[in-house]
Amino acid sequence: MTTTDIMKLCDQVRESAYAIHQYHGNGYLEKVYENALANRLRKAGLKVEQQHRLIIHDEDGAEIGEYFADLLIEDELIIELKACKSIKDEHKAQLLNYLKGACKEHGLLINFGSYKFFIKKFARSTTNSLASKLPGILPPMFFAFLAFAVK
């Protein structure tokens, strides 16, 4: 998927998530928002997997655990949903680890639990070229951009 395609996909998810936030407001459990977003994206013709299983391996290939990403869209974009007052660093770390564990490049962290709508896009480089050119500036192989906070 090209960068333009992934950005269009992120825009589509953002617009759907914002519409859900406007319609339902905050106060529901995370699962309600997950089901609503999956429903709307499927109706828009997208491939959506809920509770996508991610197997975590150790350096020797041994299976050491599993996680479940809230949504996987078009086999490319991992969506991590929250229904809390505010996003914390551990929520960001969770999505970054999901991207690493799934060998995916793009993810969205969305919070429906606040009065303000929150969405942030994260990207994980599959090459170390950018990180090696900017040592000490970027965390290894990770960077985040495109944050939205809307009333």
Which pLDDT does position 31 carry in this prediction?
Answer: 98
Stretch 59-68: mean pLDDT, rounded? 91
Query: Taking CA 113 as the corner, what is the angle to CA 115 and CA 11, rounded to the nearest 5 degrees?
Result: 85
Phi then psi for 48, rounded to 5 degrees?
-130, 125
Give the HSE-up count for residue 134: Cα atoms under 13 Å, Cβ half-sphere.
9
Looking at the chain, which runs of residues are DSSP E strands? 48-57, 63-73, 77-82, 106-111, 117-124, 142-150
Which pLDDT does position 142 carry in this prediction?
Answer: 44
Containing structural domain, residue 98 = 3-150
Stretch 86-96: mean pLDDT, rounded? 96
Q: Which amino acid is at 17?
A: A
Q: Per the structure, how many domains does the chain have?
A: 1
Which pLDDT does position 1 carry in this prediction?
Answer: 87
Stretch 4-27: mean pLDDT, rounded? 97
CA distance 145 to 136: 18
Q: Is 14 helix (H, G, I), strand (E, B) or coil?
A: helix
Stated pTM of the model? 0.81
Q: Quick one: what percent of the chain has pLDDT higher than 70?
A: 83
Which pLDDT does position 151 carry in this prediction?
Answer: 46
The DSSP string of 114-143 is: SSSEEEEEEEE-SSSHHHHHSTTTS-TTEE
* pLDDT tier for residue 58 given thresholds of 50, 70 and 90: confident
72-81 pLDDT, tens digit per residue, is 999 999 999 9
* Gyration radius of the chain over CA positions: 15
Q: What is the DSSP letter of 34?
A: H
Which pLDDT does position 56 carry in this prediction?
Answer: 87
| Residue 102: both structure tokens together | 């799934």
Beta strand 106-111 pairing with 77-82: parallel
